[in-house]
Every structure is written in C-alpha cells, then in structure tokens.
C-alpha cells in the first residue's frame, strides 16, 4: 500500500440557506475540485444541510499562528470605545 498516492485534502464550506454565510463544516479527500464537490455533497448534506458548497484545497489556506494570538488580538481588549455601549447618552435622546 502506497501512502504517497493519497488524494489531496479539501476543506468544505457550506451555506445552509440563502442569506447566510458559508461556514466551515469539515474536510474530504478528492483528486480534483469536481470530485471534492461531489464528495462534500455526499458526506455533508445528506439531510439538506446546505444549498451551496465551497471546497478549497487545504494546502492553499493561509492561517494565523495560534502562538501570535496575544499580539494579534489582545490589543483590541482595551478599546471599549469601539462599542456603542461605551457611550452613556442622556435618557431623552432617542433613535441614536
């Protein structure tokens, strides 16, 4: 058995109904995009879970490094003024 002939891995994203984003739901192995779509349809939509599928070669995804989580995301922690709830307005101000 050869392990070098493994079909490449594809990440699967599904839009559950019109109006919603495609969301990651898993992955499949397939030799090409057309068969990856077919496999994703068989594996992930047996109960009408979707109306649209994207497949993306897993090795084409550029991901952030979990080790950089603090430097990437912590700086936003003290910027509460970016949220509307930061501002206390007079009680009689409406529609704002």
Compare residues 2 and 85 and give the one whose CB is closer to other proteins.
2
Considering just the CA atoms, what is the radius of gyration of the chain in Å? Answer: 21
| CA distances for 45 relative to 7, 15, 25, 54, 62, angstroms | 21, 11, 10, 13, 26
State the Cα–Cα distance between residues 58 and 63, nearest whole angstrom.
10
Least distance to other proteins, CB of residue 7, Å: 6
Least distance to other proteins, CB of residue 86, Å: 28
Determine the interface stretch with other proteins among 15-23, 25-33, 73-81, 87-95 (rule: CB under 8 A). 25-33
Binding residues vs other proteins (CB under 8 A): 1-3, 5-7, 9, 25-29, 31-32, 35, 42-44, 46-47, 63, 65-67
């Amino acid at each position: 058995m050869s392990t070098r002939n493994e079909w490449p891995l594809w990440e699967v994203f599904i839009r559950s109904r019109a109006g919603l984003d495609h969301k990651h739901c898993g992955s499949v192995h397939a030799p090409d995009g057309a068969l990856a779509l077919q496999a994703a349809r068989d594996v992930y939509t047996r109960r009408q879970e979707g109306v649209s599928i994207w497949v993306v070669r897993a090795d084409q995804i550029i991901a952030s490094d979990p080790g950089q989580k603090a430097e990437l995301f912590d700086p936003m922690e003290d910027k509460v003024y970016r949220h509307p709830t930061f501002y206390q307005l007079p009680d009689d101000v409406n529609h704002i």
